């Protein structure tokens, strides 16, 4: 029987790679961490930095990052309430990984653009074509 091609990368359920990735998986967590590595930010600042991220999703992602110990939430006793988010010491330990992802993404941006699904050109598609009115 042939040996698996990538046996040196075997990762059974519960392995360290799976555990590490589970902390930053999803569309937004690593992006949020990337911005918080630049410094402390308030909720709406993060929203402005990450277009397309809904308030509800940001709340959920920040809560998950806080529960996992990657982000610290500081509430100031003032009116109106002031809440700031910053990267914890554990979160800061992910900085080289987040930076490596940023560099890799920058170096391979053309790959993402090439494979991005776009709306097909209807004129080149088989089948009946729309009839224009004269």
Question: Given its phi and psi angles, is residue 26 left (phi above 0), alpha (psi -120 to 50 degrees) or beta?
Answer: left
* pTM, 2 dp: 0.73
Residue 123's CB: how many other CB atoms inside 10 A? 7
- Structural domain contains residue 82: yes
What per-residue confidence (pLDDT) applies to 125? 52
- Structural domain contains residue 111: no
Kindly tell me the burial class for residue 84, based on how many C-beta atoms sit within 10 Å of its own C-beta (0-12, 13-18, 19 or more): middle
CATH number at residue 46: 1.10.10.10
pLDDT, tens digit, 9 for 90 and up, residues 64-104: 999 999 999 999 999 988 999 999 999 999 999 999 999 99
- Structural domain contains residue 24: yes
Spatial separation of the C-alpha atoms in residues 100 and 107, rounded to whole Å: 10
For the chain, how many structural domains are there in total? Answer: 1
pLDDT, tens digit, 9 for 90 and up, residues 1-51: 444 444 455 667 668 888 888 888 888 999 999 999 999 999 999 999 999
Average pLDDT, integer, range 121-126: 53
What per-residue confidence (pLDDT) applies to 1? 47
Which structure tokens are listed for 44? 């709406």
Bigger pLDDT: 7 or 111? 111
What per-residue confidence (pLDDT) applies to 21? 87
What per-residue confidence (pLDDT) applies to 5? 45
What per-residue confidence (pLDDT) applies to 102? 92
- Structural domain contains residue 86: yes
- Structural domain contains residue 133: no
């Amino acid at each position: 029987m042939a040996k698996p091609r990538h046996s040196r990368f075997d990762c059974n359920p519960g392995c360290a790679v799976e555990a590490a990735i589970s902390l930053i998986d999803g569309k937004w967590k690593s992006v949020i961490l990337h911005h918080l590595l630049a410094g402390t930010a308030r909720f709406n600042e993060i929203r402005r930095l990450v277009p397309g991220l809904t308030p509800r999703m940001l709340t959920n992602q920040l809560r998950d990052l806080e529960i996992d110990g990657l982000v610290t939430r500081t509430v100031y006793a003032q009116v109106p309430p002031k809440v700031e988010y910053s990267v914890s010491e554990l979160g800061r330990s992910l900085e080289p990984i987040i930076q490596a992802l940023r560099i890799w993404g920058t170096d391979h941006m053309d790959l993402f653009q090439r494979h991005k699904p776009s709306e097909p050109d209807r004129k080149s598609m088989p089948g009946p074509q729309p009839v224009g009115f004269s």
